[in-house]
Amino acid sequence: MKAAHAGWVFVSPALFMIAVFFLLPVLAALGLSLTDFDIYALARLDNLRFVGGGNYLRLLQTPLFWKALGNTLFFVIVGVPLSIVASLAAALLLHSAVARGKAIFRTALFAPVVTTLVAVAVIWNYLLHTRYGLINEVLGWVGISPIDWLGDPRWSMPAIILFAVWKNAGFNMVIFLAALQSIPEELYEASRIEGATALQQLRFVTLPSLAPTMVLVSILTMAGYFQLFAEPYVMTQGGPLQSTTSVLYFMYEEGFKWWNLGSASAVAFLLFLLMFAVTLLQSFALRRWSEP
């Protein structure tokens, strides 16, 4: 009986904070997205109009919203697999029996994860510079003419993907590494007795054992990549030609630059619905994989 009371006492401060500073605002955002709350309404509340689904309808007719959605999906669809492949490759190398100095390499490959995004974006801005950038310099050695990474709308999103993969690959690498270490040695023994080559081991032992981890990692990475914001904010300000305007960047401008809070809330909700649908699909996949 005492413990039951204690339980409530222990959780209530945290629950109170989460309720007031998260759940309540989420509900308020839903309400806000049904109004045309804007700067006029901030000045005088009787300038507020209830517009129902008007914001959502208008967004669906706004080219920039679709462009932002397209950019974000491009970032997710290309960036997530690339990021996962890079992480997996790094994990397999580190896990290899012949690798030396594992601890040092692991730390080196993980370091970009903990760095401050704004600061490393500054470096990458420079590495990607058309005429003075190290990246074009290196491409020049193999005869590729300079690419206008951040100025050409075709290359700006790939440049940001490159940067994101560099920054985030270490995170999933650590997760894969743990999963690799937990694969029972007997499985490899058995396959060796059957005369499997290293490649066959990878295909028939390692990868299937990693499948649940793979789905989990893709859920986490995808959720993160959907929330692309700081990279374009710092590196390109959403340009050139709005080719790096992500959904969240669009929301930020709509909300905190122009103070169309109603419309910005609607953007946030549309993003949430999209993420929710995708996560649902992935959880379904996870359940299928996890079944013994």
Partner 1 sequence: MTLAGAEQAVRCLSIAALVCGLASCARPDSGEIVLEFWAMGREGEVVAELTRDFEARHRGIRVNVQQLPWQGAHEKLLTAFVGDATPDLAQMGNTWVPEFATLGALAPLEPLASASALVEQGDYFPGIWDTNVIDGRLFGVPWYVDTRLLFYRRDLLAQAGFSQPPRSWEEWRRMLVAIKRLPGAEHYSILVPLNEFEPLLLLGLQQDEPLLREGGRWGNFRSPGFRRALGFYLELFEQELAPRATNTQIANVWNEFARGYFAFYITGPWNIGEFKRRLPPELAGSWMTAPLPGPSGPGLSNAGGSSLVMFANSSRKEAAWKLIEYLSQPEVQRRFYALSGDLPPRRSSWEGSELGGDVYAAAFREQLERVEPTPKVPEWERIATELRVVAEQAAHGALTADAAVSELDARADRILEKRRWILAREAGE
Partner 2 sequence: MRPQPRALLVNAALLAAAVVSLGPLAWMVSVSFMAPGEASSSPPPLLPRAATLENYHQLFARTGMGRGFANSLFLATAATLLALCFNVTAGYAFAKLRFAGRERIFRLLLGALIIPAQVAMIPLFLLLKQLGLVNTYLGVLLPSVANVFGIFLVRQYALSIPDELLEAARIDGAGEFRLFWSIVLPSLSPILVTLAIFTFLGSWNDFLWPLIVLTDDDRHTLPVALASLTREHVQDSELMMAGGVITVLPVLVLFLVLQRYYIQGLLAGSIKG
Residue selected from 151, 234, 240, 289 as contacting partner 2 according to rule CB under 8 A: 234
- Establish if 174 lies at the interface with partner 2 (CB under 8 A): yes
Confirm if 84 and 214 have CB atoms less than 8 A apart. yes
Residue selected from 124, 149, 155, 250 as contacting partner 2 according to rule CB under 8 A: 124
- Establish if 71 lies at the interface with partner 2 (CB under 8 A): no
Burial of 33 (0-12, 13-18, 19+ CB in 10 A): buried
Residues 176-195 close enough to bind partner 2 by CB under 8 A: 178-179
Residues 36-65 close enough to bind partner 2 by CB under 8 A: none
Residue selected from 94, 161, 205, 214 as contacting partner 2 according to rule CB under 8 A: 94
Q: Compute CA distances 170 → 78, 134, 154, whole Å.
A: 18, 22, 27
Please enumerate in sequence order all residues whose Cβ is within 8 A of that of 284, keeping only pairs 6 or more positions apart, or say none: none
d(CA 82, CA 279): 19
Looking at the Cβ atoms of 135 and 205, the one nearer to partner 1 is: 135
User: Residue 130's Cα: distance from chain center in Å?
Assistant: 27
Residue (of 256, 260, 272) closest to 72 by Cα position: 272
Residue selected from 32, 33, 35, 36 as contacting partner 1 according to rule CB under 8 A: 36
Residue selected from 84, 90, 160, 222 as contacting partner 2 according to rule CB under 8 A: 90
- Establish if 3 lies at the interface with partner 2 (CB under 8 A): yes
Smallest separation (angstroms) from partner 1 to the CB of 46:
9
Task: Count interface residues toward partner 1 (CB under 8 A).
Answer: 34
Smallest separation (angstroms) from partner 2 to the CB of 187:
19
- Establish if 212 lies at the interface with partner 1 (CB under 8 A): no
Q: Which amino acid makes up residue 208? A: P
Residue selected from 18, 19, 23, 42 as contacting partner 1 according to rule CB under 8 A: 42
Please enumerate in sequence order all residues whose Cβ is within 8 A of that of 19, keeping only pairs 6 or more positions apart, or say none: none
Confirm if 160 and 244 have CB atoms less than 8 A apart. yes
Confirm if 69 and 84 have CB atoms less than 8 A apart. no
d(CA 33, CA 56): 8
Q: Which stretch binds partner 1 (CB under 8 A): 83-91, 148-156, 169-177, 208-216?
A: 148-156
Residues 214-253 close enough to bind partner 1 by CB under 8 A: 237, 239-242
Which two three-digit tokens encode residue 31? 């309400």
Binding partner at 257 among partner 1, partner 2, none, C-beta below 5 to 8 Å by kind: partner 1
Residue selected from 146, 151, 212, 224 as contacting partner 1 according to rule CB under 8 A: 151
Confirm if 170 and 113 have CB atoms less than 8 A apart. yes
